[in-house]
Amino acid sequence: MALIHSFEKSGNWLFKHRGELPIALFVLALPIVYFTNSEWLSDEHEILITVISIVLSLLGFMIRAYSIGTTPKGTSGRNTKEGQVAEQLNSTGIYSVLRHPLYVGNYFMWIGIVLFTFNFSFFIIISLAFWLYYERIMFAEERFLEKKFGQSYLEWSLLTHAFIPSFKNYKPNVIPFSIKSVLRREYSGVLATVIGFVFVDQIRYYAYHGIYNFNRLSISFLILTALIALLLRSLKHYTKFLQEEGRS
């Protein structure tokens, strides 16, 4: 099999199994957190790293939220059941700045949790693994877009970087930002991110003290996030409150 076909096939497979990535991260993080010796870090340094970790994850969420909130229905995307789907090429707004903003957002959301382990070697390893993982997925997606949109895709891809934003070719969004789109589509990702932080926090506390502490602030924040996610899920599935015309 030619490399171009091998990369495309593996990219499609990785995309279909992307939901398993958080599980793999949890499994890897368990021994990393438990055996990481962070005694050399002062309390001030731990607080600083924690704040940076949360800011990175918030940055990832904001990138994803802006992308989803300004994306019209039928633009470039894929469906795991029907294969790759795109009725039109999305090349305005954030997609005129970089080609894969959702994957950039994913990286920052999850790398915040990784940094929160206080293990910098793990941070570097996961960053490299993310790049290899998403590089294959991006390759497969872009092969599909190139076949479907031809010259239009090539012109857009030559002007727009894959991961590093470039604002010189920015084009305004074709539709306004919609908070309903974000609420409808992002609650599960936010909940998963909060679970990741709480997971690391609890494992580290157990490693230090030999017990779990469910009275910590992180647990309260997790309960609040879970309740909000449950409310948004109910609104999405049982009401029309979050439904919109012309949105995915």
CATH number at residue 30: 1.20.120.1630
Domain membership of residue 92 (yes or no) is: yes
Q: Residue 116: name the closest of 190, 5, 205, 233 by CA.
A: 205
Domain membership of residue 97 (yes or no) is: yes
Instruction: Kindly report, residue by residue over 161-200, the tens digit of the pLDDT.
Output: 888 888 888 888 888 899 999 999 999 999 999 999 999 9
Residue 74 has pLDDT above 70, yes or no: no
Q: Which domain holds residue 171?
A: 7-175
Domain membership of residue 210 (yes or no) is: no
pLDDT at 86: 57
pTM of full prediction above 0.85: yes
Burial of 165 (0-12, 13-18, 19+ CB in 10 A): middle
Residue 234 has pLDDT above 90, yes or no: yes
Residue whose token pair is 């368990």: 30
The answer for residues whose C-beta is within 8 angstroms of residue 28's C-beta and 6 or more apart is 122, 126
Domain membership of residue 142 (yes or no) is: yes
Q: How far apart are the C-alpha atoms of 14 and 31, rounded to whole Å?
A: 25
Domain membership of residue 34 (yes or no) is: yes
State the average pLDDT over residues 204-208: 90
Instruction: Kindly report, residue by residue over 14-33, the tens digit of the pLDDT.
Output: 777 676 776 777 788 888 88
Domain membership of residue 248 (yes or no) is: no
Domain membership of residue 85 (yes or no) is: yes
- Structural domain total, the chain: 1
Q: How far apart are the C-alpha atoms of 19 and 133, rounded to whole Å?
A: 13
The answer for residues whose C-beta is within 8 angstroms of residue 197's C-beta and 6 or more apart is 53, 54, 57, 112, 113, 116, 218
Residue 105 has pLDDT above 50, yes or no: yes
Q: How far apart are the C-alpha atoms of 187 and 227, rounded to whole Å?
A: 11
What confidence tier does 149 reach under pLDDT thresholds 50, 70, 90?
confident
Domain membership of residue 163 (yes or no) is: yes
Q: Which residue has the higher pLDDT, 2 or 89?
A: 89
Could you give the residue ranges of the DSSP H alpha helices within the chain? 3-16, 21-35, 43-69, 101-115, 120-149, 151-159, 179-209, 217-238
Q: How far apart are the C-alpha atoms of 116 and 36, rounded to whole Å?
A: 11
Q: How far apart are the C-alpha atoms of 13 and 134, rounded to whole Å?
A: 12
